[in-house]
Structure 1
């Protein structure tokens, strides 16, 4: 186990991807009118990629089209003082191929907006890092 200078466990890429796959909510970080913006999103992992289901007219959809974005997810148990955080940076793109949209529609990804939500953003993590805190 490798520790950083603060005593937090440094996670491997595989550990980071496994932890991302274990939680349904994360935060996408993007640029909105030349300013940083953060929005919580429902997501899932597929083939090492972050998959976000949204509406075509959402801020996330507009901002993440062919852009570099950051993504963060975490889980903490304050009573037990354990948890983890994973941050990824990569290129995001909208899925436009009908067959791929059909395939992604079958994922166990519950959208927050009940209608008009068959727009998918895929983010391929190029850089990924994570830390785990243990009591």
Structure 2
């Protein structure tokens, strides 16, 4: 297992289109799959009315996880980002829609953009057996 530095974590997040938003819903953990883009030190995704929008309107602290696993080769990585969620303003939404490859898999008539300001990020990579560090 290799511990990843923040720069590697950001690079890996940019390499996949789907992640998982982890928040609290009714006092219990909730995990929602979202397609997203990374914009500098933030994660941006579209949403409609519902629990993700309410969490963003409140500014809750959430976790976001993305990964990639090769089950044949027993390799892969996982990255977790933590921060406050917020709703992107209407003016900034228009600008981001022009510059970022944002889309939603769901048919949303008038989606909101939500942003996770990354305050903490960490990741791990499972390296092939032959590439593992040797003990001294």
Band the TM-score falls in, shorter-chain normalisation: 0.7 to 0.9
1:79 maps to 2:82: no
More helix by share: 2
Q: Aligned match of 2:113 in 105, 111, 120?
A: 120
Structure 2: gaps spanning 5 or more residues = 129-136
1:53 maps to 2:46: yes
Matches within 5 A, 1:81-100: 81-96=74-89, 98-100=90-92
Whichever of the two has the greater Rg, that structure is: 2
1:69 maps to 2:62: yes
TM-score by length of 1: 0.88
Q: Aligned match of 1:40 in 22, 33, 41?
A: 33
CA distance in 2 between partners of 1:16 and 1:117 (Å): 31
Structure 1: gaps spanning 5 or more residues = 1-7
CA RMSD of aligned residues (A): 1.2
Runs of 4+ in structure 1 off by over 3 angstroms are: none
